[in-house]
C-alpha cells in the first residue's frame, strides 16, 4: 500500500499540465465563463485536439486507441483536466458505446465505429429509457422485427419511443435497446442496435428542462430500417451489453475530479462573499458544510481509487460502482445547493433581461449567475443512469445478497 | 387554545381557493410567465374588486375586514397552492404592514389605495453586499437626497411606491441610523434594471441617484426595529405560502406514486417510496404547525425567536419536500411540462428568501441561547 506518486507520475503530471496550458483553447474558457450556450462544434473542439494528441480515450485498451496509462496516470489526467476547467467530453461514444463495441462487437463493427468515435466524427446518443420504462428499464417496448429485404439481406424494422435522450439533437448515431423477442422473459428478448440517426422514420423532439435548457429529447422511431449487422452481440442478448455499459457509466458518473474543482470554486466564492462583518467562509455554519463536503469527497475519492486499482488488476467494474454513483451524485447535488446558498439573494434572478435586445444581461456577482438553473438541472443526477433508489437495490441484491 | 379559523376566515379561504381553482390554472399561469412581465394586472384587479382580498388585514376604518396576520396567513397559503405571481406579499403584507404600523395621514391616504388595487409597493431593503442582514445598509439619505443600490427588489417594475431603508447616520452595519422611506416609484433619480426571477416574477436592481426625499416620505427614523418587525410578519406570511406550495408538492407526488407503474406495480407500493412520502408528509405537517405558532406569536415578546424557528423549519421542509417530489417523479419532474417542477422552483426560492435556514438558526441562537 502506498498513497504517494512515483517520480514518473510526478513527471507525467507536469507533462499533462504543460500540454493543457499550451493546447486548451482560450476562447472555450471565455465561452463557458460567459455562460453561453455551447454549440456542437464547441464541445468537439477540445475532443479534436485530444484526438490529435492521441489522448482522447485513456480508458480504452491500447489496441483500439487507448493511451496505455496506468490507473494512477488516468487519475492524474482527470484531476488536471478538471482543475483547468476543461470542457467535459461527451461520454456517449467514448465511455458508453465505445467500450461495448470493443468488448462485444464484430471486427467489422470495431473497424467501422471505433476510429470515428475517437476522431469525434460521429456524435452518439443513448436510446435506453422509454416513457413507460424508467427505473424498470427491462420492461422496454420498442419493437424490432426481423425481416429479409428485397436485396436478400437481413434487417430489423424498429418502432417505438425513447425518451431523456441527451443531446440527440446533435447525434449522428444512436445505440438503442430494442425488444426482438416479445415472448421471452423481460431481460432475455432485448437486443443492442446501432442506428444511424439520419435513417428515415426517426424524429427527435426537444424536452425543455427546468433551467430552460434543451439537453434531452424524445426520439420517435417509426418503421426505421436497420441492417442486422448493426446489432452488437447476439440477438436477444442485448441486456448483457446494457448492464456492462451501465456499470461503466456509473463509475464515470462519480465525477470526483469535477467535484473537487467545484469545492475549490465554492470556497473561493464564499471567501469573496460578504456576510455581515466577515466573509461567508468565516460563517461557522457554511464552513462546516464545506468541511463535511470535503470529508465525504475524500471518502468517495479513495473508494474510487480502490475500485480503479481493482479494475487494473483485471476486475471489471461491478455492482460496487453503484456506491460511486450514489455518493458521487449526492456530492454533486450538495455542491449545487451550497452554490445557491452562497449566492443568497442573487440566486433568484433568471439569466434573462426584461429589456429588449439585451443579451449580455447580468446582475449580482458573476459567481451567482445560473446557480439556480444549475441546481435544478443537477437534480437529474440522482435520477439518471439508474436512479439512486435502484442503485441501492443493486447493492442490496448483488453485494449484500439480500 | 384554538387553531380553527373563524367563519369569516374560512369564507376568505374558500372564496379565494375557488377563484384560483377556476381562473389560475397551471397553463394560464405559465402563459403569464412566458409573456415576461412577471404578473397579470387583470388578476390584481380581480383580487381588489371581485374578491376583495386586498382588504383582508386592514382595519374597518381604512375599508378593510379588520383582520391581521391570520388573514394574511390564510391568503398566502392559498396563493402558494396556485404558485401565484402577483404581489400580495410585497404590497399588502409588507407595504400594508408598514403603513399600519406607522399610521397617521399617510396610512389614511395609501391603505385605501392598496385595497382598491391602485397602490402597489415594492420592498427595497436588501443590498448587494448585505446578504440577509437588514442592518447592512450603505444606501444613504443625506440632506434630503437618497443615493444607493438595492438588490433583487421583487415587483419593483409594477410598483407605484418603493419602501426603502436608508442610512441617515452611523457606519454601514450599525443598527441605529436607518430610516424607513416610502417614495413614489417614478421619482426623478430612480433607475431600474428589470429581470425575471427563476420563479417567473419580476425583480429589479434599483439605483437611487440624488433622489429628493422630503419629510413626508420618511415613515420612521431610526427604524430598524420596525423594519425587523415588518420583515418578521412577511417571513411568516412567506412560510404560509410555503405551506401551500408544499401541500401541493406532496399531493401531486402521492398521486403520481399511486399511478406510475414500474416492475408491474405502482411505485407507491415500494416501501422506499412509502417511507419517503411519509417523511415528506411529516415535514409538511410540521411546517404548518410552525407557521401557525409563529403567526400567533407575532404580537408577543417571543416574536423574533418564534419567526426564526418557523422559517428554519419551513426552509428545511421546502428543500426536503421539493427535492423528493422531483426525485419520486423522476425525469418528468425536471421538465417544464409538469407543474411539480415549478412548485419545486418556488419552494427553492423560499428557502433563502428573508434569510436561509442557517441565518434563522443563528438568529434564534443569538436571541435565546446565551452561553
pLDDT digits (tens, 9 = 90+) for A41-92: 988 999 999 999 999 999 899 999 999 998 889 889 999 999 999 998 999 9
Whether B1 maps to a domain, the answer reads: no
Domain end (from B194, B222, B250): B222
C-alpha count within 13 angstroms, C-beta hemisphere, residue B82 = 23
CATH number of A254-399: 1.20.140.10
A window 87-146, beta carbon within 8 A of B: 129, 132-136, 139
Per-residue pLDDT at B290? 98
Model confidence at A388, in pLDDT bands (50, 70, 90)?
very high
Nearest to B89 by CA among B77, B107, B106, B101: B77
Looking at the structure, tell me whether residues B238 and B331 fall in a common domain.
yes
B window 10-49, beta carbon within 8 A of A: 36-38
Nearest to A176 by CA among A124, A120, A215: A124
Q: What is the mean pLDDT of residues B225-236?
A: 98
Q: What is the mean pLDDT of residues A290-319?
A: 83
Domain range for B43 is: 7-119
What is B103-133 written as a DSSP string? -HHHHHHHHHHHHHT---EEEE---TTTTT-
pLDDT digits (tens, 9 = 90+) for B93-127: 999 999 999 999 999 999 999 999 999 999 999 99
Average pLDDT over all residues of chain A:
91
Per-residue pLDDT at B2? 86
Question: Could you tell me how far CA A173 lies from the centroid of its own chain?
Answer: 17
Least confident of A26-40, A326-340, B96-110, B336-350: A26-40
Contact B334 A210 (CB under 8 A): yes
Q: What is the mean pLDDT of residues B171-177?
A: 97
**CA–CA gap between residue A1 and residue A302 (Å, rounded):** 13
Contact B262 A353 (CB under 8 A): no
Chain B residues inside the 8 Å CB shell of A364: 128, 151-152
**CA–CA gap between residue A314 and residue B288 (Å, rounded):** 56
**CA–CA gap between residue B104 and residue B128 (Å, rounded):** 33
Per-residue pLDDT at A49? 97
Looking at the structure, tell me whether residues B211 and B137 fall in a common domain.
yes
Looking at the structure, tell me whether residues B20 and B135 fall in a common domain.
no
Distance set, CA B235 to CA A4, A168, B288, B304, B309 (Å)? 53, 44, 14, 10, 11
Chain A residues inside the 8 Å CB shell of B326: 379, 383
Whether B2 maps to a domain, the answer reads: no
Looking at the structure, tell me whether residues B111 and B176 fall in a common domain.
no
Per-residue pLDDT at A253? 72
Looking at the structure, tell me whether residues B264 and B236 fall in a common domain.
yes
Question: Could you tell me how far CA B332 lies from the centroid of its own chain?
Answer: 28
**CA–CA gap between residue B253 and residue B280 (Å, rounded):** 10
Compute φ and ψ for A316, nearest 5 degrees: -70, 165
Contact A380 B193 (CB under 8 A): no
Across the interface, which of A280, A352, A389 has its CB nearest the CB of B195?
Answer: A352
Per-residue pLDDT at A314? 62
Three cell numbers, residue A297: 469527497
Looking at the structure, tell me whether residues B145 and B192 fall in a common domain.
yes
Contact A363 B193 (CB under 8 A): yes
Spans of all domains in chain A? 7-89, 124-236, 254-399
pLDDT at A250 over 70: no
Whether B326 maps to a domain, the answer reads: yes
Looking at the structure, tell me whether residues B251 and B313 fall in a common domain.
yes
Across the interface, which of A210, A349, A375 has its CB nearest the CB of B341?
Answer: A210
Neighbours of B127 (CB within 10 A): 22
Per-residue pLDDT at A317? 64
**A37 catalytic, yes or no?**
no
Whether B89 maps to a domain, the answer reads: yes
Chain A residues inside the 8 Å CB shell of B261: 132
Which residue of chain A has the CA closest to B136?
A276
The domain that contains B115 carries what CATH number?
1.10.540.10
Whether B243 maps to a domain, the answer reads: yes
Looking at the structure, tell me whether residues B147 and B271 fall in a common domain.
no
Least confident of A250-254, B24-28, B292-296: A250-254
Contact B136 A273 (CB under 8 A): no
DSSP state of B371: -
Whether B344 maps to a domain, the answer reads: yes
pLDDT digits (tens, 9 = 90+) for A151-161: 999 999 999 99
| Cβ-based contacts under 8 A for chains A and B | 150
pLDDT at A360 over 50: no
What is B35-81 written as a DSSP string? HTSSS-HHHHHIIIIII-GGGTTS-GGGTS-S--HHHHHHHHHHHHH
Name residue A285's beta-bridge partners. Answer: none
Across the interface, which of B193, B195, B262 has its CB nearest the CB of A136?
Answer: B262
Three cell numbers, residue A151: 436485396
**CA–CA gap between residue B74 and residue B96 (Å, rounded):** 16
Contact A135 B263 (CB under 8 A): yes
Per-residue pLDDT at A251? 60
CB A391 within 8 A of CB A399: no
Q: What is the mean pLDDT of residues A382-402?
A: 93
A window 348-367, beta carbon within 8 A of B: 348-350, 352-355, 361, 363-364
Looking at the structure, tell me whether residues B36 and B94 fall in a common domain.
yes
DSSP H or E run through B98: helix B96-102
Looking at the structure, tell me whether residues B175 and B239 fall in a common domain.
no
pLDDT at A304 over 90: no
Contact B205 A341 (CB under 8 A): no
Least confident of A138-152, A235-249, A325-339, B162-176: A235-249
Domain count, chain B: 3
Per-residue pLDDT at B339? 97
Whether B249 maps to a domain, the answer reads: yes
Contact A380 B128 (CB under 8 A): no
Q: What is the CATH T-level fold of the domain A124-236, as seen in this structure?
A: Butyryl-CoA Dehydrogenase, subunit A; domain 2 (2.40.110)
CB A70 within 8 A of CB A312: yes
What is B260-319 written as a DSSP string? -EETTEEGGGSHHHHHHHHHHHHHHHHHHHHHHHHHHTTTSTTHHHHHHHHHHHHHHHHH
Looking at the structure, tell me whether residues B244 and B359 fall in a common domain.
yes
pLDDT digits (tens, 9 = 90+) for B294-340: 999 999 999 999 999 999 999 999 999 999 999 999 999 999 999 99
The domain that contains B156 carries what CATH number?
2.40.110.10
pLDDT digits (tens, 9 = 90+) for B150-161: 999 999 999 999
Hey, is the C-beta of B339 within 8 angstroms of any chain A C-beta? no
Whether B323 maps to a domain, the answer reads: yes
Neighbours of B369 (CB within 10 A): 8
Three cell numbers, residue A120: 469525434
The domain that contains B358 carries what CATH number?
1.20.140.10
Looking at the structure, tell me whether residues B156 and B179 fall in a common domain.
yes
Per-residue pLDDT at A311? 66
CB A217 within 8 A of CB A169: yes
pLDDT at B369 over 60: yes
Name residue B98's beta-bridge partners. Answer: none
Domain end (from B222, B239, B272): B222
Per-residue pLDDT at A5? 85
Average pLDDT over all residues of chain B:
97
Model confidence at A357, in pLDDT bands (50, 70, 90)?
very low
Amino acid at each position: 500500500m502506498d498513497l504517494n506518486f512515483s517520480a514518473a507520475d510526478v513527471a507525467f503530471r507536469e507533462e499533462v499540465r504543460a500540454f493543457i496550458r499550451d493546447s486548451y483553447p482560450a476562447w472555450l474558457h471565455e465561452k463557458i465563463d460567459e455562460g453561453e450556450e455551447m454549440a456542437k462544434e464547441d464541445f468537439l473542439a477540445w475532443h479534436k485536439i485530444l484526438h490529435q494528441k492521441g489522448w482522447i480515450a485513456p480508458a480504452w485498451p491500447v489496441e483500439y486507441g487507448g493511451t496505455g496509462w496506468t490507473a494512477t496516470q488516468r487519475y492524474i489526467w482527470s484531476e488536471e483536466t478538471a482543475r483547468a476547467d476543461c470542457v467535459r467530453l461527451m461520454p456517449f461514444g467514448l465511455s458508453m458505446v465505445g467500450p461495448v463495441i470493443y468488448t462485444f462487437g464484430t471486427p467489422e463493427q470495431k473497424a467501422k465505429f471505433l476510429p470515428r468515435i475517437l476522431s469525434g466524427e460521429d456524435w452518439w446518443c443513448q436510446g435506453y429509457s422509454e416513457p413507460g420504462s424508467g427505473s424498470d428499464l427491462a420492461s422496454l417496448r420498442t419493437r424490432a422485427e426481423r425481416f429479409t429485404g428485397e436485396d436478400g439481406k437481413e434487417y430489423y424494422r424498429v418502432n417505438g419511443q425513447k425518451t431523456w435522450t441527451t443531446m440527440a439533437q446533435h447525434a449522428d448515431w444512436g445505440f438503442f435497446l430494442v425488444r426482438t423477442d416479445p415472448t421471452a422473459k423481460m431481460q432475455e428478448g432485448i437486443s443492442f442496435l446501432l442506428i444511424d440517426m439520419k435513417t428515415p422514420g426517426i424524429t427527435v423532439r426537444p424536452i425543455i428542462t427546468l433551467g430552460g435548457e434543451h439537453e434531452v429529447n424524445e426520439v420517435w422511431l417509426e418503421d426505421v430500417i436497420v441492417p442486422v449487422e448493426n446489432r452488437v452481440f447476439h440477438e436477444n442478448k442485448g441486456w448483457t451489453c446494457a448492464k456492462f455499459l451501465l456499470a461503466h457509466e456509473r463509475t464515470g458518473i462519480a465525477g470526483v475530479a469535477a467535484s473537487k474543482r467545484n469545492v475549490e470554486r465554492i470556497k473561493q466564492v464564499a471567501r469573496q462573499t460578504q456576510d455581515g462583518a466577515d466573509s461567508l467562509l468565516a460563517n461557522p455554519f457554511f464552513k462546516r458544510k464545506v468541511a463535511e463536503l470535503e470529508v465525504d469527497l475524500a471518502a468517495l475519492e479513495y473508494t474510487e481509487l480502490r475500485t480503479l486499482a481493482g479494475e487494473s488488476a483485471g476486475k471489471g467494474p461491478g455492482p460496487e460502482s453503484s456506491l460511486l454513483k450514489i455518493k458521487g451524485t449526492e456530492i454533486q447535488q450538495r455542491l449545487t445547493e451550497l452554490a445557491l446558498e452562497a449566492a443568497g439573494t442573487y440566486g433568484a434572478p433568471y439569466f434573462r433581461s426584461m429589456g429588449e435586445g439585451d443579451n449580455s444581461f447580468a446582475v449580482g456577482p458573476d459567481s451567482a449567475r445560473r446557480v439556480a438553473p444549475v441546481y435544478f438541472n443537477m437534480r437529474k443526477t440522482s435520477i439518471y443512469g439508474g436512479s439512486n433508489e435502484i442503485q441501492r437495490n443493486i447493492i442490496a441484491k448483488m453485494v449484500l445478497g439480500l | 387554545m384554538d387553531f380553527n379559523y373563524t367563519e369569516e376566515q374560512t369564507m376568505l379561504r374558500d372564496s379565494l381557493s375557488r377563484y384560483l381553482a377556476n381562473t389560475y390554472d397551471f397553463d394560464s399561469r405559465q402563459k403569464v410567465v412566458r409573456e415576461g412581465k412577471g404578473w397579470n394586472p387583470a388578476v390584481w384587479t380581480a383580487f381588489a374588486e371581485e374578491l376583495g382580498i386586498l382588504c383582508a388585514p386592514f382595519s374597518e376604518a381604512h375599508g378593510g375586514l379588520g383582520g391581521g396576520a391570520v388573514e394574511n396567513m390564510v391568503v398566502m397559503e392559498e396563493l402558494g397552492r396556485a404558485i401565484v405571481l402577483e404581489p400580495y406579499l410585497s404590497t399588502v403584507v409588507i407595504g400594508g404592514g408598514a403603513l399600519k404600523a406607522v399610521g397617521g395621514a399617510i396610512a389614511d391616504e395609501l391603505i385605501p389605495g392598496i385595497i382598491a388595487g391602485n397602490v402597489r409597493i415594492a420592498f427595497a431593503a436588501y443590498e448587494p453586499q448585505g446578504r440577509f442582514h437588514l442592518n447592512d445598509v450603505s444606501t444613504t439619505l443625506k440632506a434630503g437626497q437618497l443615493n444607493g443600490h438595492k438588490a433583487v427588489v421583487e415587483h419593483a417594475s409594477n410598483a407605484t411606491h418603493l419602501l426603502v431603508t436608508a442610512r441617515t447616520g452611523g457606519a454601514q452595519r450599525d443598527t441605529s441610523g436607518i430610516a424607513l422611506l416610502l417614495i413614489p416609484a417614478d421619482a426623478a433619480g430612480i433607475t431600474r434594471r428589470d429581470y425575471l426571477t427563476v420563479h417567473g416574477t419580476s425583480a429589479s436592481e434599483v439605483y437611487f441617484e440624488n433622489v429628493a426625499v422630503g419629510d413626508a416620505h420618511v415613515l420612521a427614523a431610526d427604524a430598524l426595529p420596525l423594519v425587523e418587525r415588518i420583515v418578521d410578519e412577511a417571513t411568516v406570511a412567506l412560510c404560509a405560502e410555503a405551506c401551500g406550495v408544499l401541500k401541493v408538492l406532496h399531493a401531486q407526488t402521492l398521486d403520481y406514486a399511486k399511478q406510475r407503474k414500474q416492475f408491474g406495480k405502482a411505485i407507491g407500493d415500494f416501501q422506499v417510496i412509502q417511507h419517503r412520502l411519509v417523511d415528506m408528509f411529516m415535514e409538511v405537517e410540521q411546517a404548518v404547525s410552525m407557521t401557525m405558532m409563529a403567526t400567533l406569536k407575532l404580537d408577543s415578546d417571543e416574536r423574533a425567536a418564534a419567526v426564526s424557528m418557523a422559517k428554519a423549519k419551513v426552509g428545511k421542509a421546502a428543500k426536503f419536500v421539493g427535492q423528493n417530489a422531483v426525485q419520486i417523479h423522476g425525469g418528468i419532474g425536471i421538465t417544464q411540462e409538469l407543474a411539480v417542477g415549478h412548485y419545486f422552483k418556488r419552494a427553492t426560492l423560499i428557502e433563502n428568501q428573508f434569510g436561509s435556514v442557517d441565518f434563522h438558526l443563528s438568529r434564534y441562537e443569538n436571541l435565546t441561547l446565551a452561553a
